[in-house]
Chains A and B, each alone.
Chain A
């Protein structure tokens, strides 16, 4: 079973270690310091073609230490927790700080923003799982997928992963927080062949709670269905058409918004949504909310990497951008306040427009439903977007044939404004939760 045994004892030990390092930093002349200490373990099993492929045990630990000498800062890290290694790491961080520049915006987050409440987020659920059980579960998943259709001729395997970890963050404001979490997943990827056409696709389930994972049968069957339906895909002639991003791809679009309104992109003026608070970037029916305190959710946390309390807030309201994602550095640069985003976003929820997936297809009528994107053709500064796409051609609301070897292109500003509807087929895996997104038109390039 993957569990951090004696995790409360370990936490106590880490607290002592953190206090010691913070005191030692002060003795070295640091005006402030912060550190995090992480420890985790994991088991991952992969099977392929009915037999075990890999059995891996993971065990990681690390300390990340930042020291401030006034407004100069140094950073060092180590995986070795011996007293000598801790002393060396502190020494290295101090050495680095001698050479970095004075930067008025540097420093710990403001003391008054430190989290003081630690709601029970219920993120720690170790799995009563040993290697044999994990192997059986993966074998069952793959067997279901391989037996699903005669055209499934090969497999990239099925896997079970279980992870348990804890982390402590402390700084010289006197803040100290400890969090424990688990994460488990089940995945499957198979290959189908029909004549010359060979295709691969996959499915997975992930949760902090083992009992909430999808069953082996359902993950296997979904992986198989998704693979088979891609066979005999064709390209399209170059055209303009509406594009429907299924939830797994729609998540990426929300991710592009996140990147554009991150504090770093804003103060560097490296965003296609510069100074966008108060701007209408989406149609007025678009609502995006950040909620850090959802119990058992993958993105939940009550404080960020600087100890700042997180809180629920609107990111987009009636299509208008309400706020950025700021850590203390970018907040000071912009003359704003930290939003508790030093570790990135927590849980983002895009509200649907009350339409089912089949109705979305019908609303699109004729266009491209995108199920996979490849390549990195997104320019975050200009918003120019051009990526390879895989999916299905839809006519009169019905899927006609699979599509591959096309690109879809546009500009994210137009794409965001061009959102027509958001489906209620919400994918709850991951920290961005969204249904399918329909966009009025993009350029599709093909044969």
Chain B
């Protein structure tokens, strides 16, 4: 059977007649005696997307993006250049530009090439673009439209799209490692706008992962996503303004784990901690969460959106424990930051594309389950809010302050879920929020595969998850003064 590396060779080397001897030439241009790491990142990605709106297939697009990024690192300093052309002259020119970071003379060479194939592929190598016929892709989107409209007479607009990506990458580094990976990624998104008596609301639903488009069809996802989007939008039609002030908040399971991603995860990325600009810097071993709380970043879950067989530096991904029983255990590393902090990469070196530098980034970040029945958690709250879904969040990693916007939330009164609330924004302090968690549910769930994480202008797919949580005291930024 063909291995990932064989596909990479066909994609990158064969068309231009490149050989290992040429790579040696490039590395002899790139390496100097003070180079601490260097790599070439070859990438070829094909994207296809289809969009439905107003009941018709309004848009379709196809694109190919390919190129090579060349990096030279000397300690804390990085030189980088890239090219959309994969030819020897382009590689040599990029290498020359990237090595300008070093003041040393030319020396280094790679000893021997070793081809590595992911030992533990987490996804198949088939091209998801070809996993359904065009007619089937389109009829899936039409199905979403008709189901959504049949679900409620108040549905005014349905927008649905389906995206498939097939990507081949090859990382060649200064140690001679050549690591290839073939990555499928698919996603479907549904947005609906509902209108009742002149009042308009909207909601979205969707999912995906690293598998083929069959997933959507065989799993009857058209129905699931359409009904979920309509359900959430209708709830918002009945929602009242959220209260403002500090109160007990119960966070639902699954996607609300975006709170962990923002409030905790970013602050534990190795670059911020090496530089000392994170509110979590220097706090390993400290109690940063209530006892019983364990948070991990796990790149090894099969077919998950945030998973990778190897990261974008060719390092095998792993499950890294960030917080164990409330104690801060570790950070997330790429090769450069790990080396500078005297440790090993955790397989979290990720980049948006060949045109960007890798950085420590999360994969799938979640909290392990606790003991409480979710019903028991709700019942324990006298007065507060229950936030079930979020539209997104943001953090200032230096001050530790974070913000989330709830897209589905309810009042809790006397232990019972009450009226839906809208416009509920949660604000808090990352290093503090998990110390206020008083109950952890037994219902851990991961999100449906829709997460996009932004850092330094680069977007990468990620996963999040958590069980139901009770947080004693978060600021809720609504408009209704209690």
Contact = CB atoms under 8 A, between A and B. Distances in A.
Contacts of B399: 198-200, 230, 233, 390, 404
A406 B427 contact: yes
Interface stretch (B51-59, B283-291, B445-453): B51-59
A387 B403 contact: yes
Interface in A355-396: 374-377, 379, 381-382, 384-388, 390
Nearest to B276: A154
B214 to A, nearest CB: 19
A80 B64 contact: yes
Given A154-B275, A405-B401, 4 more contacts: A55-B79, A99-B134, A382-B422, A443-B479
B244 A58 contact: no
Contacts of A54: 77-80, 357
Given A80-B84, A198-B279, A406-B427, A53 B77 contact: yes
A56 B275 contact: no
A60 B84 contact: yes
Contact of B57 (A99, A374, A408): A99
Most buried by B among A95, A96, A199, A269: A96
B200 A52 contact: no
Interface string A56-97: 111111000000000001111111100001001100110111
24 contacts: A55-B100, A58-B82, A76-B62, A99-B60, A99-B135, A100-B59, A191-B276, A198-B399, A239-B481, A269-B157, A375-B392, A376-B393, A381-B201, A384-B479, A386-B477, A388-B401, A407-B244, A409-B477, A409-B479, A411-B479, A443-B244, A444-B244, A445-B425, A445-B478
B403 A407 contact: yes
Contacts of A74: 60-61
Interface of B is mostly: strand
Q: Top 9 nearest A-B pairs by Cβ distance?
A: A407-B477, A375-B403, A388-B403, A101-B56, A445-B244, A200-B398, A377-B405, A96-B60, A386-B425
A95 B84 contact: no
A386 B423 contact: yes
Nearest to B156: A269
B121 interface: no
Nearest to B83: A59
Nearest to B77: A52
A200 B135 CA distance: 52
B15 to A, nearest CB: 10
A55 B66 contact: no
Nearest to B96: A57
Given A375-B403, A377-B405, A388-B425, A53 B478 contact: no
A79 B82 CA distance: 13
B138 interface: yes
A200 B425 contact: no
A178 interface: no
Interface in B407-441: 422-425, 427-429
Interface string B269-306: 00000011101000000000000000000000000000
B127 interface: no
Contacts of B63: 76-78
A19 interface: no
B360 to A, nearest CB: 15
Interface string B39-58: 00000000000100100111
A210 to B, nearest CB: 21
A60 B355 contact: yes
A147 interface: no
A177 interface: no
B246 to A, nearest CB: 6
Interface string A409-447: 111000000000000000000000000000000011111
B265 interface: no
Contacts of A78: 63-64
B101 A405 contact: no
Interface of A: 48, 51-61, 73-80, 85, 88-89, 92-93, 95-103, 131, 154, 156, 191, 198-200, 230, 233, 235, 238-240, 268-270, 374-377, 379, 381-382, 384-388, 390, 404-411, 443-447
A447 B475 contact: yes
Nearest to B56: A101
Nearest to A198: B398
Interface in B128-150: 134-135, 138
A97 B60 CA distance: 7
A101 B145 CA distance: 14
Interface residues of B, number: 77
B84 to A, nearest CB: 4
Given A57-B81, A73-B59, A238-B481, A269 B428 contact: no
Contacts of B195: 269
B78 A375 contact: no
A405 B427 CA distance: 6
Most buried by B among A74, A268, A269, A384: A384
B465 interface: no
B65 interface: yes
Nearest to B135: A99
Contacts of B366: none
B81 to A, nearest CB: 4
Given A99-B60, A388-B477, A410-B479, A270 B244 contact: no
Contact of A374 (B59, B61, B396, B423): B396
B20 interface: no
A386 B424 contact: yes
A21 to B, nearest CB: 15
Contacts of B253: none
Most buried by A among B156, B201, B392, B398: B398
B481 A404 contact: no
A56 B76 contact: no
B12 interface: no
B215 to A, nearest CB: 21
A446 B475 contact: yes
Given A53-B76, A76-B61, A377 B477 contact: yes
A93 B62 contact: yes
Contact of A388 (B56, B94, B427): B427
Contact of B405 (A98, A235, A376, A390): A376
B430 to A, nearest CB: 11
Contacts of A97: 60
B475 A270 contact: no
Most buried by A among B79, B100, B157, B423: B423
A58 B64 CA distance: 19
B475 A374 contact: no
A404 B64 CA distance: 44
A424 to B, nearest CB: 30
Contacts of B101: 52, 55
A269 B101 CA distance: 52
A102 B481 CA distance: 51
Nearest to A274: B200
A406 B357 CA distance: 34
Contacts of B279: 198
B27 to A, nearest CB: 18
Contacts of A92: 62
B459 to A, nearest CB: 14
A223 to B, nearest CB: 13
Given A53-B77, A200-B398, A191 B277 contact: yes
Contacts of A235: 475
Interface in B74-99: 76-85, 94, 97-98
A53 B274 CA distance: 13
Contacts of A240: 481
A174 B350 CA distance: 44
A93 B64 CA distance: 12
Given A55-B100, A75-B60, A405 B429 contact: yes
Given A55-B79, A131-B100, A405-B427, A269 B193 contact: yes
Most buried by A among B64, B138, B195: B64
A199 B60 CA distance: 45
B202 interface: yes
